[in-house]
Amino acid sequence: LESDGMIAKEGIREIGLATLVLGGVALLANWLFWPLAIVPVVVWFWVLAFFRDPPRRQTFAPGELCSPADGTVTEIAELDHHESIGGPATRIGIFLSLFNVHINRSPCSGRVRSLYYRAGEFLDARHPECGRRNESNTILIDTDAPLPGPVEVRQVAGLVARRIICHAKANEALRIGQRFGLIKFGSRTELIVPRLADTHIAVKIGDKVRGGLTLM
């Protein structure tokens, strides 16, 4: 589901609710002591900013992958065997703070082989066990040549995030950087790729990445 607007339509309900509640609080605060009204106004602007959906357009060379999310790289793990990949793999974990854009994008061009939703806990998205224990949605993509595949993207709910949205469907063709969903409030996105002799990871722990723009 592509969007060239500046606000994600998946957040319209939350923005509307925040407008009603915070607007009422601001009016009451203004009546009691007007400087207090600044607080709900700031919170309203934060809610609006959280659901921002800036357009992303970037060109990548064949064989390259882009970041599936905005945030900070908090993990780069070498896996001896990953079942979905069918062999050794590298997992890159991206932490999305409450101030990041929360749109998820396809890291490559290809076709969705499968999707798997798993109920789970809501540990903090920086917790080392969150990828294994938290509620998550996994998308397995058969990549277009010459990129080796498959590639896996996992949307992981965090302590505050309680709703994962994914618009991708099985057998759907995705292009690199294409918007496919989002996670509401702080969360984690994982990218898992085959580990081959010529696999090169272009990011390191602590790097800030941007979905659809940063080379991974």
Radius of gyration of the chain from its Cα atoms, rounded to whole angstroms: 19
How far apart, in whole angstroms, are the C-alpha atoms of residue 41 and residue 156?
A: 30
Residue located via tokens 């600044």: 38
84 in active site:
no
CA–CA distances in Å: residue 5 to residues 8, 27, 70, 79, 136: 7, 30, 17, 38, 27
Where on the phi/psi map is residue 49: left (φ > 0), alpha (ψ -120 to 50), or beta?
alpha
Closest CA to 105 of 203, 182, 162: 182
Exactly one of 67, 106, 136, 187 is catalytic; name it. 187
The residues annotated with a catalytic role in the active site are 187
